[in-house]
């Protein structure tokens, strides 16, 4: 009966087994219950009546047959559960092959240690290699499945919990019913069947617990990675701020050095300008001194020339005086004596009528002072 309940929707009371609730039965048993009031076939009833067995023996046989059927159904369920678990375990191994975590990085480290510096530099500068790596990473990220698929889902856990709660509630209900009727719970086959079902659900419960622990460990590892990323991001932000501050400080220092260099260059240019102006002033003063000396030399030359002309003009006049025989040179006398002394003018009056040499102001000067020289002398005087 237990093996043929898969597609039946009939339910009835089994009073001969002490089951007063509506339970699901197979169609043949339901037909026999409605016809004869018993689940046993008529042949079994006809053979059992002549023997004259007591009701206790019949109940014991019925309980034995029910236990055998329950044990067979439980064995089949257990076998089916084992097959399901083995298939699920095999699928999980195929999806996530158990590879040691530290094997690949150690191999990569060994390979990196064996490479030379030139090879690493060539690999670093190889653009095609890095583009291929980026494409491979993109391909792996698109092909890789969700890691949460390997763990149990919430709907499975909810279904398992609801089924377990339903079985537990049935046991509680049967226990209360037996307690009210004063029956022994050990003889209740419904309780025993539900107990066996719960016992078979115990490995599944352990599997769910293990999967939940793995899922918790996975989320904890993700949380640790997130905390590490957060710390790394904070450190990176601190380094970035420090780098920006250093760049600002370096730019400020460069600007300050540039200002200092500009100030030093301007000071040097001012000093050169002052030296150049002083040099130009000295040259101008030297040139003015040379012009003044030249003018003084010309003036001296002109003065000597004028004196020579005067001397030349006075010599013929003096030489003409001895030709007068009756003129005798006398010492000069004061004007008062000239009026009182009388002397004969004679031929001296004729000599006095001769042309007299012009004054110095009317003598033509061959080296006259040029107007530009006079202006230079005036500028020299004003400059000093």
| pLDDT-wise least confident of 31-40, 136-145, 334-343 | 334-343
pLDDT value, residue 225 = 93
More confident site: 92 or 328: 92
Looking at per-residue pLDDT, the higher value among 61 and 179 belongs to 179
Report CA-CA distances (Å) from 119 to 2, 65, 69, 123, 177: 73, 80, 74, 6, 83
Length of the chain: 384
**Among 111-120, 130-139, 326-335, 374-383, the range of highest mean pLDDT:** 130-139
Q: pLDDT tens digit string along 185-214?
A: 777 788 888 888 888 888 888 888 888 888
The position carrying tokens 């030249």 is: 294
pLDDT per residue over 296-337, tens digit each?
999 999 999 998 888 888 875 555 555 444 444 444 444 444
Please, what is the Cα angle at 293 between 292 and 296, to 5 degrees?
A: 85
The pLDDT value given to residue 175: 84
Identify the top-confidence range among 41-55, 125-139, 231-245, 358-372.
231-245
pTM above 0.75, yes or no: no
Helix (H, G, I), strand (E, B) or coil at 61: helix
**Joined tokens for residue 381:** 């005087």
C-alpha distances in Å from residue 81, one per residue of 27, 93, 297, 342: 26, 18, 140, 187
CB 305 within 8 A of CB 366: yes
Higher pLDDT, 180 or 236: 236
Residue % of the chain over a pLDDT of 70: 56
């Amino acid at each position: 009966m237990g093996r043929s309940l898969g597609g039946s929707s009939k339910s009835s009371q089994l009073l001969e087994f002490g089951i007063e609730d509506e339970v699901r039965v197979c169609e043949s048993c339901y037909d026999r219950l409605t016809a004869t009031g018993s689940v046993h076939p008529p042949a079994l009833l006809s053979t059992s009546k002549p023997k004259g067995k007591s009701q206790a023996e019949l109940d014991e046989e019925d309980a034995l047959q029910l236990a055998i059927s329950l044990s067979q159904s439980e064995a089949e369920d257990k076998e089916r559960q084992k097959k399901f678990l083995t298939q699920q375990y095999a699928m999980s191994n195929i999806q996530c092959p158990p590879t040691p975590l530290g094997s690949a990085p150690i191999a990569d480290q060994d390979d990196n240690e064996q490479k030379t510096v030139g090879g690493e530099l060539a690999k670093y500068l190889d653009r095609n290699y890095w583009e291929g790596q980026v494409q491979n990473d993109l391909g792996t990220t698109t092909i890789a499945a969700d890691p949460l698929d390997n763990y149990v889902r919430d709907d499975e856990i909810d279904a398992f919990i609801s089924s377990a709660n339903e079985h537990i509630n049935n046991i509680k209900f049967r226990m209360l019913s037996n307690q009210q009727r004063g029956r022994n719970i050990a003889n209740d086959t419904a309780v025993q069947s539900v107990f066996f079902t719960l016992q078979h659900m115990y490995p599944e419960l352990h599997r769910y617990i293990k999967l939940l622990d793995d899922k918790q460990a996975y989320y904890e590892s993700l949380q640790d990675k997130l905390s590490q990323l957060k710390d790394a991001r904070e450190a990176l932000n601190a380094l970035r701020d420090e780098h920006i501050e250093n760049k600002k400080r370096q730019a400020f220092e460069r600007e300050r050095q540039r200002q200092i260099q500009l100030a030093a260059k301007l000071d040097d240019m001012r000093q050169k300008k002052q030296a150049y102006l002083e040099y130009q002033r000295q040259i101008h003063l030297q040139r003015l001194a040379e012009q003044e000396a030249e003018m003084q030399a010309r003036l001296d030359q002109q003065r000597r020339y004028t004196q020579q002309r005067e001397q030349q003009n006075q010599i013929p006049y003096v030489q003409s005086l001895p030709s007068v025989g009756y003129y005798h040179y006398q010492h000069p006398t004061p004007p008062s004596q000239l009026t009182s002394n009388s002397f004969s003018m004679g031929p001296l009056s004729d000599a006095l009528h001769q042309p007299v040499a012009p004054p110095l102001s009317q003598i033509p000067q061959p080296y006259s002072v040029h107007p530009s020289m006079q202006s230079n002398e005036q500028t020299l005087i004003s400059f000093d």
